[in-house]
Structure 1
Amino acid sequence: MTREWTRADTVGFLRIPTADDDKYSRGVVALRTGSAAYPGAAVLGVEAAWRTGAGYVRYLGGAPDAVLARRPETVAGQDLGRTRVGAWVIGSGTDAAHRGDHEEAVLRRILAGTDPVVVDAGALDLAQGAAAPRVLTPHAGELAALRARLGLEPRSDLDGDDRRLAEAEETASALGAVVLSKGARTVIAAPGAETIVVGDGPVWLSTAGTGDVLAGILGALIAANPARPLADTAAAAAWLHGAAAARASGAEHGAVGHPIVAMDVAEALPATIAELIA
Protein backbone atom coordinates (compact mmCIF):
# COMPACT_ATOMS: atom_id res chain seq x y z
CA MET A 1 0.00 0.00 0.00
CA THR A 2 1.13 3.54 -0.76
CA ARG A 3 -0.05 6.98 0.20
CA GLU A 4 -0.18 9.90 -2.24
CA TRP A 5 1.08 13.08 -0.55
CA THR A 6 -1.00 16.24 -1.02
CA ARG A 7 -0.89 20.00 -0.72
CA ALA A 8 -2.99 19.81 2.46
CA ASP A 9 -0.52 17.37 4.00
CA THR A 10 2.33 19.77 3.27
CA VAL A 11 0.73 22.84 4.83
CA GLY A 12 0.97 21.32 8.31
CA PHE A 13 4.78 21.39 8.10
CA LEU A 14 5.04 25.12 7.40
CA ARG A 15 5.38 27.01 10.67
CA ILE A 16 4.39 30.64 10.92
CA PRO A 17 6.69 32.25 13.52
CA THR A 18 5.08 33.67 16.63
CA ALA A 19 6.15 36.54 18.88
CA ASP A 20 7.78 33.95 21.14
CA ASP A 21 10.03 32.51 18.41
CA ASP A 22 13.68 33.35 17.90
CA LYS A 23 16.28 32.24 15.36
CA TYR A 24 16.96 29.04 17.27
CA SER A 25 13.35 27.96 17.78
CA ARG A 26 12.63 28.46 14.07
CA GLY A 27 15.18 25.75 13.28
CA VAL A 28 18.97 25.47 13.09
CA VAL A 29 20.36 23.77 9.98
CA ALA A 30 24.03 22.78 9.68
CA LEU A 31 25.44 21.87 6.27
CA ARG A 32 28.67 20.07 5.48
CA THR A 33 28.32 20.15 1.71
CA GLY A 34 30.15 21.41 -1.36
CA SER A 35 33.79 21.26 -2.33
CA ALA A 36 36.35 23.11 -4.40
CA ALA A 37 35.11 21.16 -7.42
CA TYR A 38 31.41 21.71 -6.69
CA PRO A 39 30.91 24.89 -4.65
CA GLY A 40 27.52 25.51 -6.23
CA ALA A 41 25.97 22.58 -4.37
CA ALA A 42 26.78 24.27 -1.07
CA VAL A 43 25.35 27.59 -2.25
CA LEU A 44 22.11 26.00 -3.45
CA GLY A 45 21.55 24.00 -0.27
CA VAL A 46 22.22 26.98 1.99
CA GLU A 47 19.99 29.21 -0.12
CA ALA A 48 17.15 26.68 0.03
CA ALA A 49 17.43 26.25 3.81
CA TRP A 50 17.17 30.02 4.34
CA ARG A 51 14.34 30.44 1.84
CA THR A 52 12.34 27.62 3.44
CA GLY A 53 12.34 29.49 6.73
CA ALA A 54 15.30 28.29 8.79
CA GLY A 55 16.13 30.71 11.57
CA TYR A 56 19.85 29.93 11.69
CA VAL A 57 22.08 28.29 9.10
CA ARG A 58 25.62 27.07 9.85
CA TYR A 59 27.98 26.13 7.05
CA LEU A 60 30.93 23.83 7.77
CA GLY A 61 31.90 22.60 4.32
CA GLY A 62 34.59 23.23 1.73
CA ALA A 63 33.15 26.25 -0.07
CA PRO A 64 32.67 29.00 2.56
CA ASP A 65 33.68 31.88 0.27
CA ALA A 66 31.06 30.98 -2.32
CA VAL A 67 28.38 30.51 0.35
CA LEU A 68 29.09 33.83 2.09
CA ALA A 69 29.26 35.73 -1.19
CA ARG A 70 25.69 34.65 -1.90
CA ARG A 71 24.26 34.45 1.64
CA PRO A 72 26.19 36.59 4.15
CA GLU A 73 23.62 35.76 6.84
CA THR A 74 25.16 32.29 7.06
CA VAL A 75 27.52 31.52 9.94
CA ALA A 76 30.55 29.76 8.44
CA GLY A 77 33.36 27.97 10.26
CA GLN A 78 34.54 24.52 11.21
CA ASP A 79 33.55 24.73 14.89
CA LEU A 80 29.87 24.57 15.89
CA GLY A 81 30.62 25.77 19.39
CA ARG A 82 27.53 25.30 21.56
CA THR A 83 25.02 25.72 18.74
CA ARG A 84 22.25 23.12 18.97
CA VAL A 85 21.61 21.64 15.54
CA GLY A 86 18.09 20.71 14.46
CA ALA A 87 19.18 18.97 11.27
CA TRP A 88 22.35 18.23 9.35
CA VAL A 89 22.75 18.14 5.57
CA ILE A 90 25.84 16.27 4.35
CA GLY A 91 27.29 15.01 1.09
CA SER A 92 25.85 17.33 -1.57
CA GLY A 93 28.55 18.43 -4.01
CA THR A 94 31.15 15.99 -2.69
CA ASP A 95 32.72 12.84 -4.09
CA ALA A 96 33.45 9.85 -1.88
CA ALA A 97 36.35 8.89 -4.14
CA HIS A 98 38.18 12.09 -3.20
CA ARG A 99 37.25 12.16 0.50
CA GLY A 100 40.19 12.35 2.91
CA ASP A 101 40.51 10.55 6.23
CA HIS A 102 39.73 13.68 8.25
CA GLU A 103 36.58 14.40 6.28
CA GLU A 104 35.39 10.82 6.63
CA ALA A 105 35.97 10.95 10.40
CA VAL A 106 33.94 14.16 10.68
CA LEU A 107 31.05 12.73 8.64
CA ARG A 108 31.05 9.51 10.64
CA ARG A 109 30.93 11.53 13.85
CA ILE A 110 27.86 13.41 12.57
CA LEU A 111 26.21 10.12 11.59
CA ALA A 112 26.99 8.63 15.00
CA GLY A 113 25.13 11.42 16.80
CA THR A 114 21.49 11.94 17.71
CA ASP A 115 20.64 14.86 15.41
CA PRO A 116 18.73 13.94 12.23
CA VAL A 117 20.86 13.90 9.08
CA VAL A 118 19.97 14.42 5.42
CA VAL A 119 22.45 12.19 3.57
CA ASP A 120 23.05 13.09 -0.05
CA ALA A 121 25.42 12.29 -2.94
CA GLY A 122 29.01 11.85 -1.72
CA ALA A 123 28.02 10.73 1.80
CA LEU A 124 25.58 7.98 0.87
CA ASP A 125 28.25 5.30 1.21
CA LEU A 126 28.58 6.11 4.93
CA ALA A 127 24.89 5.67 5.81
CA GLN A 128 25.02 1.96 6.62
CA GLY A 129 25.26 1.25 10.33
CA ALA A 130 24.90 4.88 11.40
CA ALA A 131 23.04 5.67 14.61
CA ALA A 132 21.56 9.06 13.70
CA PRO A 133 18.04 9.35 12.30
CA ARG A 134 18.63 9.61 8.55
CA VAL A 135 16.92 10.63 5.32
CA LEU A 136 18.85 9.42 2.28
CA THR A 137 18.21 11.23 -1.01
CA PRO A 138 19.60 9.11 -3.87
CA HIS A 139 18.78 9.51 -7.55
CA ALA A 140 18.37 6.30 -9.57
CA GLY A 141 22.07 5.69 -10.17
CA GLU A 142 23.00 6.39 -6.56
CA LEU A 143 20.25 4.08 -5.32
CA ALA A 144 21.54 1.26 -7.55
CA ALA A 145 25.08 1.76 -6.21
CA LEU A 146 23.82 1.87 -2.62
CA ARG A 147 21.85 -1.34 -3.08
CA ALA A 148 24.87 -3.08 -4.56
CA ARG A 149 26.92 -2.03 -1.52
CA LEU A 150 24.21 -3.51 0.73
CA GLY A 151 24.14 -6.75 -1.25
CA LEU A 152 20.62 -6.16 -2.55
CA GLU A 153 19.85 -7.50 -6.03
CA PRO A 154 18.03 -5.37 -8.65
CA ARG A 155 14.30 -6.14 -8.69
CA SER A 156 14.28 -7.28 -12.31
CA ASP A 157 11.05 -9.19 -11.65
CA LEU A 158 9.21 -5.85 -11.45
CA ASP A 159 8.76 -2.90 -13.80
CA GLY A 160 8.26 0.84 -13.52
CA ASP A 161 6.76 2.21 -10.33
CA ASP A 162 6.45 -1.26 -8.78
CA ARG A 163 10.20 -1.74 -9.09
CA ARG A 164 11.00 1.70 -7.65
CA LEU A 165 8.68 1.13 -4.71
CA ALA A 166 10.10 -2.30 -3.92
CA GLU A 167 13.72 -1.17 -4.19
CA ALA A 168 13.16 1.90 -2.00
CA GLU A 169 11.35 -0.17 0.62
CA GLU A 170 14.03 -2.89 0.69
CA THR A 171 16.79 -0.29 0.98
CA ALA A 172 15.04 1.55 3.80
CA SER A 173 14.57 -1.71 5.69
CA ALA A 174 18.20 -2.73 5.22
CA LEU A 175 19.48 0.63 6.46
CA GLY A 176 16.92 1.35 9.16
CA ALA A 177 16.50 4.80 7.60
CA VAL A 178 14.18 6.82 5.41
CA VAL A 179 14.96 6.57 1.70
CA LEU A 180 13.74 9.34 -0.60
CA SER A 181 14.15 7.99 -4.14
CA LYS A 182 14.20 11.01 -6.43
CA GLY A 183 12.36 10.97 -9.74
CA ALA A 184 9.38 12.35 -11.64
CA ARG A 185 7.38 10.55 -8.97
CA THR A 186 9.37 10.65 -5.76
CA VAL A 187 9.12 7.61 -3.48
CA ILE A 188 9.65 7.93 0.29
CA ALA A 189 10.07 4.65 2.16
CA ALA A 190 10.64 4.07 5.87
CA PRO A 191 10.97 0.83 7.85
CA GLY A 192 7.59 -0.38 9.09
CA ALA A 193 5.68 2.57 7.62
CA GLU A 194 3.37 3.11 4.67
CA THR A 195 5.33 4.20 1.59
CA ILE A 196 4.60 7.72 0.35
CA VAL A 197 4.55 8.88 -3.26
CA VAL A 198 4.91 12.52 -4.28
CA GLY A 199 4.00 13.05 -7.92
CA ASP A 200 3.50 15.57 -10.68
CA GLY A 201 6.62 17.70 -10.35
CA PRO A 202 7.17 19.73 -13.52
CA VAL A 203 9.36 18.21 -16.23
CA TRP A 204 11.63 21.28 -16.00
CA LEU A 205 12.74 20.16 -12.53
CA SER A 206 15.12 17.56 -14.00
CA THR A 207 18.12 19.87 -14.18
CA ALA A 208 21.47 20.03 -12.39
CA GLY A 209 21.47 21.29 -8.82
CA THR A 210 17.80 20.82 -7.99
CA GLY A 211 18.69 17.89 -5.72
CA ASP A 212 20.92 20.23 -3.71
CA VAL A 213 17.93 22.56 -3.31
CA LEU A 214 15.79 19.64 -2.11
CA ALA A 215 18.43 18.75 0.50
CA GLY A 216 18.33 22.30 1.89
CA ILE A 217 14.52 22.28 2.02
CA LEU A 218 14.65 18.98 3.85
CA GLY A 219 17.09 20.29 6.41
CA ALA A 220 14.93 23.34 7.14
CA LEU A 221 11.68 21.40 7.49
CA ILE A 222 13.23 18.72 9.70
CA ALA A 223 14.74 21.37 11.98
CA ALA A 224 11.38 23.17 12.22
CA ASN A 225 9.38 19.99 12.88
CA PRO A 226 11.44 17.92 15.35
CA ALA A 227 8.52 15.86 16.61
CA ARG A 228 7.23 14.76 13.20
CA PRO A 229 8.08 11.45 11.50
CA LEU A 230 11.04 11.91 9.15
CA ALA A 231 9.28 10.19 6.26
CA ASP A 232 6.36 12.64 6.46
CA THR A 233 8.71 15.60 6.65
CA ALA A 234 10.61 14.26 3.64
CA ALA A 235 7.36 14.00 1.70
CA ALA A 236 6.45 17.57 2.59
CA ALA A 237 9.86 18.74 1.41
CA ALA A 238 9.51 16.88 -1.90
CA TRP A 239 6.04 18.31 -2.48
CA LEU A 240 7.21 21.85 -1.68
CA HIS A 241 10.21 21.39 -3.98
CA GLY A 242 7.92 20.44 -6.84
CA ALA A 243 5.51 23.29 -6.15
CA ALA A 244 8.33 25.84 -6.13
CA ALA A 245 9.64 24.41 -9.40
CA ALA A 246 6.17 24.68 -10.95
CA ARG A 247 5.95 28.33 -9.89
CA ALA A 248 9.46 29.11 -11.11
CA SER A 249 8.92 27.44 -14.50
CA GLY A 250 5.42 28.79 -15.12
CA ALA A 251 4.12 25.22 -15.22
CA GLU A 252 1.25 25.75 -12.79
CA HIS A 253 -2.37 24.86 -13.60
CA GLY A 254 -1.48 22.66 -16.55
CA ALA A 255 0.68 25.21 -18.40
CA VAL A 256 3.65 23.93 -20.41
CA GLY A 257 6.10 26.25 -18.66
CA HIS A 258 9.70 27.01 -19.55
CA PRO A 259 13.29 26.06 -18.63
CA ILE A 260 14.65 26.92 -15.20
CA VAL A 261 17.89 26.59 -13.26
CA ALA A 262 18.16 25.25 -9.73
CA MET A 263 18.49 28.68 -8.11
CA ASP A 264 15.12 29.63 -9.62
CA VAL A 265 13.54 26.87 -7.53
CA ALA A 266 15.16 28.11 -4.33
CA GLU A 267 14.15 31.70 -5.04
CA ALA A 268 10.53 30.64 -5.66
CA LEU A 269 10.22 29.03 -2.22
CA PRO A 270 9.07 32.10 -0.21
CA ALA A 271 6.21 32.94 -2.58
CA THR A 272 5.22 29.27 -2.76
CA ILE A 273 5.14 29.03 1.02
CA ALA A 274 3.19 32.30 1.29
CA GLU A 275 0.48 30.90 -0.99
CA LEU A 276 0.29 27.66 0.99
CA ILE A 277 -0.11 29.31 4.40
CA ALA A 278 -2.43 32.14 3.29
Structure 2
Amino acid sequence: MVEVREWSRADTVPLLCVPTASDDKYSRGVVAIRTGSDAYPGAAVLGVEAAWRTGAGFVRYVGAGRAADAVIARRPETVAASDIGRTRVGAWVIGSGTDPSHRSWDEERALREILTGSTPVVVDAGALDLAPRAEAPLVVTPHAGEFARLRERMGLSPEGSGDRAADAVEVAAALAAVVLLKGAPTIIAAPDGSARSVADAPSWLATAGTGDVLAGMLGALIAANPESPLADVVASGAWLHAHAAAIASGVQDSGPGHPIVALDLARAIPAAIGDLLS
Protein backbone atom coordinates (compact mmCIF):
# COMPACT_ATOMS: atom_id res chain seq x y z
CA MET A 1 0.00 0.00 0.00
CA VAL A 2 1.18 3.50 -0.83
CA GLU A 3 0.63 6.16 1.80
CA VAL A 4 -1.37 8.97 0.20
CA ARG A 5 -1.40 12.49 1.58
CA GLU A 6 -4.65 14.38 1.03
CA TRP A 7 -3.77 17.79 -0.42
CA SER A 8 -5.49 20.74 1.20
CA ARG A 9 -6.33 24.39 0.89
CA ALA A 10 -3.48 25.22 3.29
CA ASP A 11 -1.04 23.25 1.10
CA THR A 12 -2.21 25.10 -2.01
CA VAL A 13 -2.07 28.72 -0.85
CA PRO A 14 1.77 29.01 -0.71
CA LEU A 15 1.97 28.05 -4.40
CA LEU A 16 -0.20 30.99 -5.47
CA CYS A 17 2.15 33.83 -6.35
CA VAL A 18 0.94 37.37 -5.64
CA PRO A 19 2.83 39.80 -7.90
CA THR A 20 4.86 42.57 -6.30
CA ALA A 21 5.86 46.01 -7.58
CA SER A 22 9.09 44.55 -8.91
CA ASP A 23 7.43 41.84 -11.01
CA ASP A 24 6.95 42.02 -14.77
CA LYS A 25 5.29 39.76 -17.31
CA TYR A 26 8.35 37.52 -17.51
CA SER A 27 8.91 37.09 -13.78
CA ARG A 28 5.25 36.15 -13.30
CA GLY A 29 5.76 33.12 -15.55
CA VAL A 30 5.92 32.44 -19.28
CA VAL A 31 3.87 29.54 -20.61
CA ALA A 32 4.24 28.10 -24.11
CA ILE A 33 1.28 26.06 -25.34
CA ARG A 34 1.35 23.67 -28.29
CA THR A 35 -2.11 22.13 -28.22
CA GLY A 36 -5.24 21.92 -30.32
CA SER A 37 -5.64 21.11 -33.97
CA ASP A 38 -7.90 21.93 -36.88
CA ALA A 39 -10.19 19.14 -35.66
CA TYR A 40 -10.14 20.29 -32.02
CA PRO A 41 -9.32 24.01 -31.87
CA GLY A 42 -11.27 24.44 -28.65
CA ALA A 43 -8.63 22.59 -26.64
CA ALA A 44 -6.12 25.30 -27.48
CA VAL A 45 -8.56 28.05 -26.51
CA LEU A 46 -9.34 26.43 -23.15
CA GLY A 47 -5.70 25.82 -22.23
CA VAL A 48 -4.66 29.35 -23.16
CA GLU A 49 -7.64 30.85 -21.33
CA ALA A 50 -6.81 28.86 -18.22
CA ALA A 51 -3.13 29.81 -18.25
CA TRP A 52 -3.99 33.51 -18.42
CA ARG A 53 -6.64 33.27 -15.73
CA THR A 54 -4.31 31.37 -13.39
CA GLY A 55 -1.95 34.34 -13.44
CA ALA A 56 0.60 33.74 -16.18
CA GLY A 57 2.42 36.90 -17.16
CA PHE A 58 2.96 35.87 -20.77
CA VAL A 59 1.36 33.11 -22.84
CA ARG A 60 2.70 32.05 -26.22
CA TYR A 61 0.59 29.83 -28.42
CA VAL A 62 2.76 27.81 -30.77
CA GLY A 63 0.50 26.59 -33.50
CA ALA A 64 -1.31 27.55 -36.66
CA GLY A 65 -4.54 27.07 -38.58
CA ARG A 66 -7.99 27.06 -36.98
CA ALA A 67 -6.61 26.63 -33.46
CA ALA A 68 -4.38 29.73 -33.67
CA ASP A 69 -7.23 31.77 -35.16
CA ALA A 70 -9.55 30.65 -32.37
CA VAL A 71 -7.00 31.47 -29.67
CA ILE A 72 -6.42 35.01 -30.95
CA ALA A 73 -10.15 35.61 -31.38
CA ARG A 74 -10.76 34.65 -27.76
CA ARG A 75 -7.55 35.93 -26.13
CA PRO A 76 -5.91 38.64 -28.27
CA GLU A 77 -3.23 39.26 -25.64
CA THR A 78 -1.71 35.88 -26.54
CA VAL A 79 1.38 35.88 -28.76
CA ALA A 80 0.78 33.30 -31.49
CA ALA A 81 3.59 32.14 -33.74
CA SER A 82 5.06 28.94 -35.13
CA ASP A 83 7.92 29.05 -32.60
CA ILE A 84 8.83 30.77 -29.34
CA GLY A 85 11.49 33.07 -30.79
CA ARG A 86 13.88 34.17 -28.04
CA THR A 87 11.30 34.03 -25.26
CA ARG A 88 12.48 32.23 -22.13
CA VAL A 89 9.72 29.73 -21.37
CA GLY A 90 8.98 28.57 -17.82
CA ALA A 91 6.67 25.68 -18.76
CA TRP A 92 5.32 23.95 -21.84
CA VAL A 93 1.85 22.46 -22.31
CA ILE A 94 1.44 19.94 -25.14
CA GLY A 95 -0.97 17.32 -26.42
CA SER A 96 -4.48 18.54 -25.54
CA GLY A 97 -6.83 18.33 -28.51
CA THR A 98 -4.43 16.37 -30.72
CA ASP A 99 -4.49 12.88 -32.18
CA PRO A 100 -1.17 11.00 -32.48
CA SER A 101 -2.49 9.01 -35.43
CA HIS A 102 -2.75 12.27 -37.41
CA ARG A 103 0.58 13.72 -36.24
CA SER A 104 2.84 14.93 -39.02
CA TRP A 105 6.56 14.31 -39.02
CA ASP A 106 7.24 18.02 -38.47
CA GLU A 107 4.90 18.04 -35.47
CA GLU A 108 6.52 14.97 -33.99
CA ARG A 109 9.97 16.47 -34.41
CA ALA A 110 8.84 19.69 -32.71
CA LEU A 111 7.29 17.80 -29.78
CA ARG A 112 10.37 15.62 -29.34
CA GLU A 113 12.53 18.74 -29.25
CA ILE A 114 10.36 20.12 -26.43
CA LEU A 115 10.52 16.81 -24.57
CA THR A 116 14.31 16.62 -24.74
CA GLY A 117 14.83 20.14 -23.39
CA SER A 118 15.30 21.34 -19.82
CA THR A 119 11.98 23.19 -19.41
CA PRO A 120 9.17 21.41 -17.52
CA VAL A 121 6.48 19.99 -19.80
CA VAL A 122 2.84 19.20 -19.06
CA VAL A 123 1.95 16.29 -21.35
CA ASP A 124 -1.74 15.69 -21.98
CA ALA A 125 -3.92 13.51 -24.20
CA GLY A 126 -2.48 13.22 -27.72
CA ALA A 127 1.18 13.54 -26.69
CA LEU A 128 1.21 10.91 -23.93
CA ASP A 129 2.64 8.32 -26.31
CA LEU A 130 5.87 10.36 -26.43
CA ALA A 131 6.31 10.53 -22.64
CA PRO A 132 8.36 7.31 -22.19
CA ARG A 133 11.30 8.76 -24.14
CA ALA A 134 11.21 12.25 -22.67
CA GLU A 135 14.18 13.83 -20.92
CA ALA A 136 12.62 17.10 -19.74
CA PRO A 137 11.04 17.46 -16.28
CA LEU A 138 7.66 15.93 -16.95
CA VAL A 139 4.06 16.00 -15.76
CA VAL A 140 1.70 13.53 -17.43
CA THR A 141 -2.07 13.97 -17.00
CA PRO A 142 -3.90 10.83 -18.18
CA HIS A 143 -7.47 9.77 -17.49
CA ALA A 144 -8.09 6.09 -16.76
CA GLY A 145 -8.13 4.91 -20.37
CA GLU A 146 -5.04 6.90 -21.31
CA PHE A 147 -3.30 5.63 -18.19
CA ALA A 148 -3.92 2.00 -19.16
CA ARG A 149 -2.55 2.66 -22.66
CA LEU A 150 0.50 4.45 -21.23
CA ARG A 151 1.22 1.53 -18.90
CA GLU A 152 0.94 -0.91 -21.78
CA ARG A 153 3.32 1.20 -23.88
CA MET A 154 5.81 1.07 -21.00
CA GLY A 155 5.61 -2.71 -20.75
CA LEU A 156 3.49 -2.65 -17.58
CA SER A 157 0.18 -4.39 -17.02
CA PRO A 158 -2.53 -2.08 -18.39
CA GLU A 159 -4.95 -3.30 -15.72
CA GLY A 160 -2.55 -2.45 -12.91
CA SER A 161 -2.86 -3.78 -9.39
CA GLY A 162 -6.24 -2.27 -8.58
CA ASP A 163 -4.57 0.26 -6.26
CA ARG A 164 -4.67 3.52 -8.24
CA ALA A 165 -2.10 5.25 -6.06
CA ALA A 166 0.37 2.36 -6.24
CA ASP A 167 -0.08 2.10 -9.99
CA ALA A 168 0.49 5.86 -10.42
CA VAL A 169 3.63 5.69 -8.26
CA GLU A 170 4.90 2.79 -10.37
CA VAL A 171 4.51 4.83 -13.57
CA ALA A 172 5.99 7.94 -11.98
CA ALA A 173 9.10 6.01 -10.97
CA ALA A 174 9.44 4.37 -14.38
CA LEU A 175 9.05 7.68 -16.24
CA ALA A 176 10.96 9.77 -13.67
CA ALA A 177 7.95 12.07 -13.96
CA VAL A 178 5.03 13.40 -11.95
CA VAL A 179 1.83 11.55 -12.77
CA LEU A 180 -1.55 13.23 -12.33
CA LEU A 181 -4.07 10.43 -12.66
CA LYS A 182 -7.50 11.97 -13.20
CA GLY A 183 -10.45 10.50 -11.39
CA ALA A 184 -12.16 10.44 -8.02
CA PRO A 185 -9.94 11.07 -6.24
CA THR A 186 -7.27 12.57 -8.46
CA ILE A 187 -3.90 11.04 -7.62
CA ILE A 188 -0.61 12.92 -7.95
CA ALA A 189 2.40 10.60 -7.80
CA ALA A 190 6.07 11.59 -7.74
CA PRO A 191 9.14 9.61 -8.81
CA ASP A 192 10.30 9.41 -5.17
CA GLY A 193 7.33 7.18 -4.34
CA SER A 194 5.22 9.81 -2.62
CA ALA A 195 1.57 10.33 -3.49
CA ARG A 196 -0.99 13.07 -2.96
CA SER A 197 -4.72 13.10 -3.56
CA VAL A 198 -7.39 15.69 -4.31
CA ALA A 199 -10.79 14.30 -3.37
CA ASP A 200 -13.21 17.21 -3.20
CA ALA A 201 -13.89 17.97 -6.87
CA PRO A 202 -17.62 18.23 -7.67
CA SER A 203 -19.01 15.64 -10.05
CA TRP A 204 -20.13 18.45 -12.39
CA LEU A 205 -16.44 18.64 -13.36
CA ALA A 206 -16.84 15.47 -15.44
CA THR A 207 -17.46 17.20 -18.75
CA ALA A 208 -15.51 17.70 -21.98
CA GLY A 209 -12.71 20.24 -21.97
CA THR A 210 -12.08 20.51 -18.23
CA GLY A 211 -8.87 18.53 -18.65
CA ASP A 212 -7.67 21.09 -21.20
CA VAL A 213 -8.32 23.77 -18.59
CA LEU A 214 -6.33 21.80 -16.01
CA ALA A 215 -3.35 21.52 -18.36
CA GLY A 216 -3.25 25.30 -18.87
CA MET A 217 -3.55 25.90 -15.13
CA LEU A 218 -0.67 23.55 -14.42
CA GLY A 219 1.51 25.29 -17.00
CA ALA A 220 0.92 28.67 -15.36
CA LEU A 221 1.60 27.42 -11.83
CA ILE A 222 4.75 25.55 -12.84
CA ALA A 223 6.12 28.60 -14.68
CA ALA A 224 5.44 30.80 -11.62
CA ASN A 225 7.07 28.37 -9.15
CA PRO A 226 10.36 27.26 -10.70
CA GLU A 227 11.99 26.49 -7.33
CA SER A 228 9.11 24.50 -5.82
CA PRO A 229 8.81 20.69 -5.88
CA LEU A 230 7.01 19.80 -9.09
CA ALA A 231 4.63 17.32 -7.45
CA ASP A 232 3.54 19.95 -4.91
CA VAL A 233 2.83 22.47 -7.67
CA VAL A 234 0.83 19.88 -9.61
CA ALA A 235 -1.19 18.89 -6.52
CA SER A 236 -1.92 22.57 -5.89
CA GLY A 237 -3.09 22.94 -9.48
CA ALA A 238 -5.43 19.98 -9.09
CA TRP A 239 -6.83 21.39 -5.83
CA LEU A 240 -7.34 24.83 -7.39
CA HIS A 241 -9.03 23.20 -10.39
CA ALA A 242 -11.49 21.43 -8.07
CA HIS A 243 -12.12 24.62 -6.09
CA ALA A 244 -12.82 26.61 -9.26
CA ALA A 245 -15.25 23.88 -10.33
CA ALA A 246 -17.06 24.14 -6.99
CA ILE A 247 -17.42 27.90 -7.44
CA ALA A 248 -18.51 27.60 -11.08
CA SER A 249 -21.13 24.93 -10.34
CA GLY A 250 -22.50 26.51 -7.17
CA VAL A 251 -21.60 23.52 -5.01
CA GLN A 252 -20.06 25.87 -2.45
CA ASP A 253 -23.57 26.99 -1.48
CA SER A 254 -24.26 23.55 0.06
CA GLY A 255 -26.78 22.63 -2.63
CA PRO A 256 -26.46 20.05 -5.39
CA GLY A 257 -25.02 22.65 -7.74
CA HIS A 258 -25.66 22.87 -11.46
CA PRO A 259 -24.08 21.91 -14.79
CA ILE A 260 -21.03 23.75 -16.05
CA VAL A 261 -19.01 23.78 -19.25
CA ALA A 262 -15.24 24.03 -19.43
CA LEU A 263 -15.22 27.75 -20.17
CA ASP A 264 -17.29 28.34 -17.00
CA LEU A 265 -14.54 26.56 -15.10
CA ALA A 266 -11.80 28.72 -16.64
CA ARG A 267 -13.75 31.89 -15.86
CA ALA A 268 -14.02 30.84 -12.19
CA ILE A 269 -10.26 30.48 -11.69
CA PRO A 270 -9.63 34.13 -10.64
CA ALA A 271 -12.45 33.94 -8.09
CA ALA A 272 -11.02 30.68 -6.74
CA ILE A 273 -7.56 32.26 -6.38
CA GLY A 274 -9.03 35.35 -4.76
CA ASP A 275 -10.93 33.20 -2.27
CA LEU A 276 -7.77 31.29 -1.32
CA LEU A 277 -5.76 34.48 -0.85
CA SER A 278 -8.42 36.32 1.15
Match of 2:217 in 1: 217
Would you say 1:147 and 2:151 are equivalent positions?
yes
1:178 touches 1:230 (CA, 8 Å); kept in 2? yes
Structure 1 residues 157 and 76, CA gap change in structure 2 (3 angstroms):
closer
2:56 touches 2:220 (CA, 8 Å); kept in 1? yes
Match of 1:96 in 2: 100
Match of 2:264 in 1: 264
Would you say 1:61 and 2:53 are equivalent positions?
no
Match of 2:202 in 1: 202
TM alignment of 1:21-60, pairs within 5 A = 21-60=23-62
Match of 1:111 in 2: 115
Q: Deviations over 1:62-114 (max 9, x none)?
A: 41100000000000001211100000000000000100100000000000000
After TM superposition, where is structure 1 displaced by more than 4 Å over at least 4 residues in a row?
Answer: none
Structure 1 residues 65 and 156, CA gap change in structure 2 (3 angstroms):
closer
Percent of aligned pairs with the same amino acid: 68
Residue type of the alignment partner of 1:236 = S
Match of 1:240 in 2: 240
Tell me the SS of whatever aligns to 2:228. Answer: coil
1:154 touches 1:167 (CA, 8 Å); kept in 2? no
Tell me the SS of whatever aligns to 2:87. Answer: coil
Tell me the SS of whatever aligns to 1:243. Answer: helix
> Normalising by structure 1, what TM-score?
0.97
Tell me the SS of whatever aligns to 2:238. Answer: helix
In the alignment, the residues of structure 2 paired with residue 157 and residue 78 of structure 1 have an alpha-carbon distance, to the nearest angstrom, of 42
Residue type of the alignment partner of 1:75 = V
Unaligned 5+ runs, structure 2 = none
Q: CA deviation at 1:275?
A: 1.0
Q: CA deviation at 1:166?
A: 1.6
> What is the Cα-based RMSD across aligned positions, in Å?
1.0
1:213 touches 1:266 (CA, 8 Å); kept in 2? yes
Q: What number of residue pairs does the alignment pair up?
A: 274
> Normalising by structure 2, what TM-score?
0.97
Unaligned 5+ runs, structure 1 = none
Q: Deviations over 1:211-253 (max 9, x none)?
A: 0000000000000000011111110000000000000000115
In the alignment, the residues of structure 1 paired with residue 175 and residue 198 of structure 2 have an alpha-carbon distance, to the nearest angstrom, of 22
In the alignment, the residues of structure 1 paired with residue 166 and residue 237 of structure 2 have an alpha-carbon distance, to the nearest angstrom, of 22
